[in-house]
Amino acid sequence: MDELSQLLALAPSTLRQHLTILAKEGLVLEESVREGVGRPHKVYRLAPEAERLFPKRYAELLQRILRILTAEDYKAVDRLSKKILEEVIAENRHLTAILDPKKRLEAVVQVLIDLGSVWELNEEGQVSLLKIYDCPFSKIVTEFPQLCQMARTLLVQLTGAEVQLIDWMVEGSPHCTFQISHL
């Protein structure tokens, strides 16, 4: 809340009032997240109803491109996603030199954030839970499920950890959650 408050140059109480109003209007969803001891904090994200206020035609355009590629060669999307993944991994291979597994994971999460997703990382004992709230592929992944594997593979390759997808937006969850077992 403090970071957003500073970014928007609003007092935390003012920001909370605005978020409460947006939540009542159905434009923002709030979720309580507990991290260890103490009170849970709230995580806010746009409600599906709010998406129409921020028209993004990227998914539709990408879907058309992938359909055309698939019509020409049904394995083209697989090869394309593999090449993109290889490129991102190669650009970030230096992160594997970070010896502390938790710091390495945090660095990899920053890569995912830089690629355009909103993530939240929580530790629960010997595992970390990584939640994605805004996937760039969420609107087309049912047609092209191989795109979903890109984040998981990136996490596995750069962290060296065991990674499982335990919640999936496609199945109705409000976010995707990856469970990452520490080495």
Asked if 179 and 135 touch (Cβ cutoff 8 Å), the reply is: no
Contacts 24+ apart (CB under 8 A), 118-126: 118/45, 120/33, 120/43, 122/33, 122/35, 123/35, 126/181, 126/182
Strand partners for 8:
none
Hey, what CATH class is 79-181 in? alpha beta
CA atoms within 13 A on the CB side of 162: 6
Specify the higher pLDDT residue, 180 or 39: 180
Report DSSP letters for 88-106, one per residue: HHHHTGGGGG--SHHHHHH
Confidence band, pLDDT 50/70/90 cuts, at residue 183: low
Q: What does pTM read for this prediction? A: 0.65
Confidence band, pLDDT 50/70/90 cuts, at residue 98: very high
* Residue 47: predicted pLDDT: 78
Please report, for the chain, the start and end positions of each structural domain, with discontinuous segments joined by +: 2-51, 79-181
Hey, what CATH class is 2-51 in? mainly alpha
Share of the chain above pLDDT 70, in %: 96
117-167 per-position pLDDT tens digit: 777 888 888 899 998 877 777 778 888 888 878 888 999 999 999 999 998
